[in-house]
Amino acid sequence: MSRPQPVPRSWEGLRRQAIGRALAAGLMAASLPAGAHSPSTGLKGLYAGVLHPWGHVPGALLLIVLGLWLGQGRRACAPLVSALATVSTLVAAAAGLLPALPAAAVLLAAVAVGLLLILAWPSREQGGRAAWAAPVLAPLAFVLAAWAGGPDAPLPRELASLWSLTGMALGCWLMPAYAALAAMALQRRGWLAVGLRVIGAWIVAAALLVLALQLRAPA
């Protein structure tokens, strides 16, 4: 007598299970203390700097949703102003001129940009009247992300610190750049563009949940 064959799971069920596990892992990582960064053991200088912003979950969340929003409507982000804002913030943090930034501020910024992604605002019809949105919001988001994911303490004035700051600036730009490219690829595939709004809803929900967990955490 042959054994009964197991019923194969549908692709949709497997996809939902994978998404659920990924979200759970992301939320567990995001619930770490506000100033926590992933250790980059054995890496120094440029490579450690590139990975440093990725270790700060609220800042990384903000940069990813910013890139998705910019790529959704091919919105101009005032690249020169954004680059100057990022570098200036990192230099100020390295010099010890900036106080610690509460994670709540970065999470609320991620929620705000996520809502813009869900609403697809400004739309093409509103592009002329709201042309100021991306050039103003993008540099502000880069400042918050660089402030949150920048140096944990003042850096010594040496060549290694310069390489580290250069890597941090690159790290702050790689995340939104990849996210924007992914968003533009989805936009070209018609109905898949709806997935951007779904991702925006997930990011907003995750940021609000992490914010609630941090507010409830004992001091």
The DSSP secondary structure of the chain, one letter per residue, reads: -PPPPPPPPPHHHHHHHHHHHHHHHHHHHHTS-TT-----TT--HHHHHHHTGGG-HHHHHHHHHHHHHHHHTT----HHHHHHHHHHHHHHHHTT-SPPPPHHHHHHHHHHHHHHHHHT-S-STTTTTTTTHHHHHHHHHHHHHHHHHS-SSPPPSSHHHHHHHHHHHHHHHHHHHHHHHHHHHHHTTGGGGHHHHHHHHHHHHHHHHHHHHHHHS--
Q: Is the pLDDT of residue 142 over 70?
A: yes
Q: What is the pLDDT of residues 5-21, one digit of tens each?
A: 443 444 455 445 544 54
Token pair for residue 103?
A: 């994670």
Domain segments of the chain as ranges: 11-216
Confidence class for position 186, pLDDT limits 50, 70, 90:
confident
Average pLDDT over residues 18-41: 44
Each residue's pLDDT tens digit, 77-134: 888 999 999 999 999 999 989 998 999 999 999 999 999 999 988 876 665 667 888 9
Distance (Å, whole) CA 87 – CA 143:
9
Model pLDDT, residue 36: 39
User: 7 to each of 17, 95, 112, 211, how far by Cα in Å?
Assistant: 16, 61, 43, 41
Q: Is residue 55 predicted with pLDDT exceeding 90?
A: no
- How far apart CA 52 and CA 155 sit, in angstroms, is 14
Q: Which residue has the higher pLDDT, 131 or 171?
A: 171
Closest by Cα among 147, 140, 39 to 90: 147
**Model confidence pLDDT, tens digit, residues 56-66:** 889 999 999 99
- Cβ neighbours of residue 112 under 8 Å, at least 6 residues apart? none
For residue 179, pLDDT beyond 60: yes
pTM confidence score: 0.77
Residues 140 and 62: beta-carbon distance below 8 Å = no
For tokens 């926590």, name the residue.
36
pLDDT at 45 over 90: no
**Rounded-to-integer distance, Cα 219 and Cα 217, Å:** 6
